[in-house]
Structure 1
Amino acid sequence: MSDAQPTPPPTNTVAVPITWRTRLSPRPGLARLRESWVAVAQIVTAATCAYLIGRYAFGHETPMIAATVAISSLGLARDARPRRVAETVVGMLTGILVSEALRLLFGSGWWQLAVTLGVTMLTARFLSASPAFAIAAAIQAAIAMILPLAPVPFSRLLDGVIGGALAVLVTALLPRNPLTVVQRDARAFFAGFDAAAARLVTALRHGDRRRAERGLEKARGLQPALDAWRTALESGQSIARISPFLRGRRAELERQARMLHAMDLAMRNLRVVARRIVYVCDDGRPLPVPAEALAELTRAATVVAASLDDISEEPVAREALLAFARRLDPARMLPGAPLGEQALVSAMRPLVVDLLVATGMPPADARAALPRL
């Protein structure tokens, strides 16, 4: 009997020490500044102009609500689509209207504040399913109730309209660059896609079920990155529709929308492939041919990701995928192999189609590129 201790399995997890320099690094803060300076400019412009219009055009002594509505409508959120801004404005105007009406009827005080908040939030919940809509209405209702009584009834409602109109106008005339956020989120998704596929390739080369399960977990964890990409893209497209300054970005945003739809399907099919890999790795036998096939597919997906920044990479990725697709016949690639391995190669076929569609190829042509089974 040997006294040698078994060698622990290799791990790909490495502890990353967090030092005081990491905690005090200015880089995260500088990154936030780069991402937010346009939003800050929008807010400052809209709030200041709303205040000036309320104060000097309409003679309101304290047009605070005009400024607060503009600030709250825009915010620093990544989703700055005009529809969301308009919905927030409507919510705040609802709160101001209810507050002004109840104040005329019952005056102001602690119990009037409680009644106003209750009526406002119930009304807002009836009008919209969005919790943010009700909260925005309640905040403005509280401000309108607590402030001193305005000389003219419902003048604060006019202030709210001014602030909301400025918020929507600034969204169109001082738009945030949508492509910056869209491409960043798209790159994050492709990085996760590549990491999941690379882990699955390693699992096939070693016949390692544990690595295959981790690759499956990574593939299942891609949804938040895809959702972030979709949110940024939908926001950018909404802004581009109303902004004359983003007219030239519409075609690129449409291309990104096509890529996103295709990669959504590719992500789902990668999970199917990953589940097959978990199954075939159960006996611990290396599978070099399927591993090399998936590795080739992963390299092509990397070129698809590169086309986010350089559209000239699209035809390069398409040709690489077409060359791979023409050879993707399980019987020829794995003659005499078990059905499980051939089913794994067959599961890669829809994934190839999705990646071809991401490069701009029509779905019918992408499917026709595969050999008939």
Structure 2
Amino acid sequence: MIGVARDRADAVAKRARAGLMLALQAGLAAGLAWYLAHDVIGRPAPFFAPIAAVITLASSVGQRMRRTAELVAGVAVGIGLGDGIILLIGTGPVQIGLIVLLAVLVATAVGGGPPLIVQSASSAVLVATLTVQTGHPWTRFFDALVGGGVGLAVMTVLLPINPLSVVRRAADPALRAFTAGLHEAALGLSDGDPDVIEAALARLRSAEGTFAAFGTAIEAARENVAFAPARWHSRGALAQYVAGAPQLTYALRNVRVMIRRAQTALNDRERVPEVLPASVRHLGDAVDLLRQEWARGVEPVETRERALRAAAESGRAYDTGLGYSGGVVVAQIRTSVADLLRATGVEYAEATRQVRVAVGWRGRPHGARNRAARARPPAPPSGRSPEPGAG
């Protein structure tokens, strides 16, 4: 019980630390928005200014700048429409329905996404139900603009979130899931158990969501760095993630094809040499090393070495003789290794060359290469590798 309580306390503390920056941003933005609207502009009760500032900050975490702008515009449009309708025809259930209808229509007509539509409607409802008309129909509209502008300024200039922290928090679960899926696939190959292979495939399917969150975090971080001078020093370290994320997505897709083929090989009772699961395990180790080296902000040298070792082991497996599906597994390992090398910053041509050298084709006599090719099953009629999803 003590251990469980300690784990829960640690989880609460971790969540609190993660939310500390957002709390500081929200507090600063709310105070500044009230100060500007009340003390500088002279509004007697500008409560929509701090509300808009906090809504902007809370809804923009991990989202793109365009969505944040939509939220600010939505608040302003909803308040403006609400004030206008109340001025003309008063308040009541019919007026509330009309205000929401018009707010949604306007947001949709200008091409707004869900943030703009939802915020326009909810802001209009707030105006219609919680405020009393003061004779100045557009003042709350400007309060919302002031608050939204302050929220954006705090988020991008005054107190920007560290983009590297955001990206690392998003990358960690994605790369851990990728590593676990590869290690589980290696275990299934080693034990000859198709069910374990299926579990590994399911794990990697679920990793798609974490990779999507990783990509979203990168987009948000890129915009944060672009608009926040205080975070410009993070551009170099962030570049590793920005350049590597697309290649990791390609690697994930290729690995899923590889695992499906590995399952087919087991179901067809093809021979699986020991070095083949070792190759898959080394590939998983390489992904985990990449997570660690990116987190430390160092050149991913160990990642490259382990990835090329995976390629070398796959070449050894190929030389021992494999069935058709086993040959596809080797081909997908080679492709995934090339993707992983490119994720570390290696150019395409150089990554391909390094993989060929590691596998053992570079420098091998042409006749020996042909004999090895004749020992393999024929390629598909098209001469192309199986499409993703085959098997």
**Band the TM-score falls in, shorter-chain normalisation:** 0.7 to 0.9
Q: Is the 8 A contact 1:201 1:292 kept in 2?
A: yes
What residue is the counterpart of 1:163 in the other structure? 147
For 2:190 and 2:69, the matched residues in 1 are separated by 54
What residue is the counterpart of 1:151 in the other structure? 135
Counterpart residue identity of residue 221, structure 2 = G
Unaligned runs of 5+ in 2: 362-368, 370-391
Q: Is the 8 A contact 2:60 2:67 kept in 1?
A: no
From 160, 163, 167, the counterpart of 1:182: 167
Aligned counterparts, 1:72-83, within 5 A: 72-75=55-58, 78-79=61-62, 81-83=64-66
TM-superposed deviation, 1:106: 1.2
Aligned counterparts, 1:185-224, within 5 A: 185-224=170-209
For 1:22 and 1:82, the matched residues in 2 are separated by 39
Q: Does 1:109 align with 2:92?
A: yes
Q: Percent identity?
A: 26
TM-superposed deviation, 1:165: 1.1
Q: Is the 8 A contact 2:76 2:142 kept in 1?
A: no
From 267, 282, 286, the counterpart of 1:300: 286
Q: Is the 8 A contact 2:279 2:313 kept in 1?
A: no
Aligned counterparts, 1:333-344, within 5 A: 333-344=318-329
Q: Secondary structure at the match of 1:84?
A: helix
Name the Cα RMSD after superposition: 2.3
Q: Does 1:273 align with 2:258?
A: yes
For 1:205 and 1:20, the matched residues in 2 are separated by 35
For 1:139 and 1:133, the matched residues in 2 are separated by 10
Aligned counterparts, 1:328-367, within 5 A: 328-329=314-315, 333-367=318-352
What residue is the counterpart of 2:54 in the other structure? 71
Structure 1 residue runs of 4 or more that deviate by more than 6 Å after TM superposition: none
From 101, 122, 132, the counterpart of 1:139: 122
From 235, 245, 254, the counterpart of 2:239: 254
What residue is the counterpart of 1:10 in the other structure? none
Which stretch has the larger CA shift, 137-146 or 282-291? 282-291
Number of residue pairs aligned between Structure 1 and Structure 2 = 355
Q: Does 1:122 align with 2:108?
A: no
For 1:304 and 1:126, the matched residues in 2 are separated by 45
Which stretch has the larger CA shift, 277-286 or 251-260? 277-286
TM-superposed deviation, 1:224: 0.6
For 1:24 and 1:184, the matched residues in 2 are separated by 19
Counterpart residue identity of residue 177, structure 1 = N
Deviation sequence 1:297-320 (CA, Å, 0-9, x none)? 222222222211224351222233
TM-superposed deviation, 1:130: 1.9
For 1:287 and 1:216, the matched residues in 2 are separated by 21
What residue is the counterpart of 2:11 in the other structure? 28
TM-superposed deviation, 1:75: 0.8
Change (3 A) 1:21 1:208: closer
From 56, 69, 84, the counterpart of 2:67: 84
Q: Is the 8 A contact 2:262 2:325 kept in 1?
A: no
Deviation sequence 1:176-232 (CA, Å, 0-9, x none)? 112112112211111101111111111111111111111111122210110111111
Q: Does 1:318 align with 2:304?
A: yes
Counterpart residue identity of residue 287, structure 2 = A
For 2:113 and 2:285, the matched residues in 1 are separated by 42
Which stretch has the larger CA shift, 165-174 or 125-134? 125-134
What residue is the counterpart of 1:241 in the other structure? 226
Unaligned runs of 5+ in 1: 1-17
For 1:252 and 1:241, the matched residues in 2 are separated by 14
Deviation sequence 1:30-71 (CA, Å, 0-9, x none)? 222101111111111111111122222232221111111111
For 2:183 and 2:309, the matched residues in 1 are separated by 20
Change (3 A) 1:289 1:85: same
Q: Is the 8 A contact 1:117 1:142 kept in 2?
A: yes
Counterpart residue identity of residue 304, structure 2 = R
Counterpart residue identity of residue 254, structure 1 = A
For 1:76 and 1:111, the matched residues in 2 are separated by 30
TM-superposed deviation, 1:290: 1.0
For 1:302 and 1:20, the matched residues in 2 are separated by 28
Q: Is the 8 A contact 1:207 1:287 kept in 2?
A: no
For 1:192 and 1:198, the matched residues in 2 are separated by 10
